[in-house]
Amino acid sequence: MTNQTNIARRISTHLLILAGLALAAACGAPIDGDAPDDPPIDIDASPIVHGAPSRGKDPAVVALLLGDTGLCSGTLIAPDLVLTARHCVSTTLASVTCPSRTRHVQADRDPRAIRILSGENLATGQVLARGVATVTVPSTNLCGNDVAVLVLDRAVTTIKPVPIAAAAPRVGGRVRAVGFGLGEAGVGAGEKRAREHVRLVEVSAREFEVGEATCSGDSGGPALDDESGAIVGVVSRGTRPCDAHDARNTYTRIDVHADVLARAVAHPQRASRVGLAAPSSSANVATDMGAGCEKAVDCTTGICVYDAGGSYCSRQCGTGDRCPRGYRCRATTAGAATRACQRNP
């Protein structure tokens, strides 16, 4: 048994994970091409907890191995820079409550003890680099400040970094959440999982929330904008238990921490002098839309449509949440509150 497999089984339970897909649309007038007499389409919708395996769609999302017992997630934003959460690179209080003026950070970890691993799970992943320095907010309070950049001892040239979003997050915006964490029934820690089209339900000056369940395993994982694929936030904390109907997951906004990013880019111990990638409208956004499936848990979208031409991953839709081009929003057999995108005939 490899040391990486052992690490996967000893992961610290204070870390966070990915979440499920909130119900988004209500019944009402026809939407996006529905006809009043269209029969509902047959779908399978996954539970509100769980994501689905990323399956290579998010190569820049990496695991941070914290010594031999801890795990966090992060994202390559330059060949030698990984964006993650502050509490991943520090030792902190066991419980963090916000808002507060508490000193949450007790000490910073030795960055040389943090290894960066690529791949889809810890057992088969490849160690790419180690840390040499960390860049953080000059505060010991994590509320709105739970962000850090790990400077690596070498440049990773085999993976394309992810850009930082230029625009601020907004209520009603949608993101793809990615990280290494627990799956169904609390198993699967150390596997990269994703959930896309997650809705932002609240945005404050330094954080935002999604109305999704969270479990152990994904601290520091990114929220990637649905349209650009750029990073808008990193996982900070979530409510417990992770399968509660009113669960929330809190992300630290990245747009308000430009100073941290600038100091990381200029850090004297960098192995590469390459700057951060700029967002592009032509970004290749990861999605399962249209991919084949047998059931909803096969899809990061959380919906598997059973159509005449075969079954495929889809997503929910509704008023203000239009389907992608080539799809129309339809009523489903899952009930009036659940509408989904069906391929155009």
Question: What digits encode the pLDDT tens for the residues 195-226?
Answer: 899 999 999 999 999 977 556 668 899 999 99
Q: How many CA atoms lie within 13 A of 160 on its CB side?
A: 12
Q: Which of 175, 97, 106 is nearest to 140 (CA)?
A: 106
Give the pLDDT score at 336.
74
Asked if 51 and 193 count as a contact pair (C-beta separation under 8 A), the reply is: yes
Rounded to whole angstroms, how far apart are CA atoms 82 and 63?
10
Phi, psi of 98 (to 5 degrees): -130, 145
Percent above pLDDT 90 for the chain: 60
CB atoms within 10 A of CB 157: 11
What does 225-252 look like in DSSP terms, one character per residue? Answer: ETTT--EEEEEEEE-SSTT-TT--EEEE
Asked if 16 and 252 count as a contact pair (C-beta separation under 8 A), the reply is: no
Phi, psi of 309 (to 5 degrees): -90, 5
**pTM of the entire structure?**
0.86
Give the pLDDT score at 25.
31
Asked if 340 and 46 count as a contact pair (C-beta separation under 8 A), the reply is: no
Give the pLDDT score at 245.
64
Rounded to whole angstroms, how far apart are CA atoms 75 and 58?
9
Rounded to whole angstroms, how far apart are CA atoms 165 and 150?
19
What does 332-345 look like in DSSP terms, one character per residue? Answer: ETTEEEEEEEEE--
Rounded to whole angstroms, how far apart are CA atoms 180 and 48?
18
Give the pLDDT score at 321.
92
CA torsion 137-61-250-24 (nearest 10°) is 150
Residue ranges in the chain modelled with pLDDT below 50:
1-2, 5, 7-30, 183-187
Rounded to whole angstroms, how far apart are CA atoms 105 and 20?
29
* Helix residue spans in the chain (DSSP H): 3-9, 258-265
200-239 burial: b if 16+ Cβ within 10 Å, else e: beebeebbbbbbbbbbbbbbbbbbbbbebbbbbbbbbbbe
Question: What digits encode the pLDDT tens for the residues 3-44?
Answer: 554 544 444 333 333 333 232 333 334 455 555 557 889 998
Give the pLDDT score at 213.
52
